[in-house]
Structure 1
């Protein structure tokens, strides 16, 4: 069994009001804690990925805030207390200061986080 807390996890990505902490939990999955301030739009850091959208699926829980998720099919709003599945092809924008935890396939998440780091360097 693997367990961890947010505080025990290393910061993987940080900048402009965003903090991402990740840890491989085995089975090809990574847990990610993310916090971002109101107005944070991850769209620009996803430019250059297919369709300029995150291609990694995420299963999680929004513990604080509101997030607008832009997809090729339209938009959806996720609010605090909601469990979610964000399929490949999305770009989140924080409508309020937001925090969430999600679980994602490690290989796909690593590609997206590496790309985001390059875009914001």
Structure 2
């Protein structure tokens, strides 16, 4: 059975805001993400339907706090909470937050294409 752990998964993203490690496990990607500062990544979802993340995520907060925003509500999770974030959300993350998150690999790839495009545009 395939598995992943934070120590055995190489760092794939190392930005001022986030360190991310990602491994495919079956049809899902497990993400080990640590946020170095407060992050509102809403601008990076531009170009996706409703300019919001359309990938569902199941996760567990190991430290800190993450808030998911939808047009009609907000949900906040803190260390020790498990969560499900259905499509159509925007995350808001505080510095020092770490999560372990599971997402369908194909849907995550479509989302990350837009995020990477927007990150490149912002850096220009």
Secondary structure in structure 1 of the residue aligned to 2:67: strand
TM-score by length of structure 1 reads 0.90
Structure 1, unaligned stretches of length 5 or more? none
| 2:103 paired with 1:104 | yes
Query: Quick check: 2:19–2:33 contact (8 Å CA) kept in 1?
Result: yes
Q: Which residue of 1 aligns with 2:83?
A: 84
Structure 2, unaligned stretches of length 5 or more? none
Which has a greater percent of strand? 1
Name the CA distance, whole Å, in 1 between partners of 2:100 and 2:50: 25
Q: Which residue of 1 aligns with 2:20?
A: 20
Aligned pairs, number: 120
The CA deviation string for residues 58-95 of structure 1, in whole angstroms up to 9 with x for no partner, is 11101110112111222111111000000001111113
TM-fit CA distance, 1:99:
0.5
Secondary structure in structure 1 of the residue aligned to 2:32: strand
Name the CA distance, whole Å, in 2 between partners of 1:69 and 1:81: 16
Query: Quick check: 1:37–1:94 contact (8 Å CA) kept in 2?
Result: no
Q: Which residue of 1 aligns with 2:58?
A: 59
Secondary structure in structure 1 of the residue aligned to 2:7: helix
Name the CA distance, whole Å, in 2 between partners of 1:93 and 1:2: 31
CA RMSD of aligned residues (A): 1.4
TM-fit CA distance, 1:53:
0.8
Name the CA distance, whole Å, in 1 between partners of 2:55 and 2:116: 16
TM-score by length of structure 2 reads 0.88
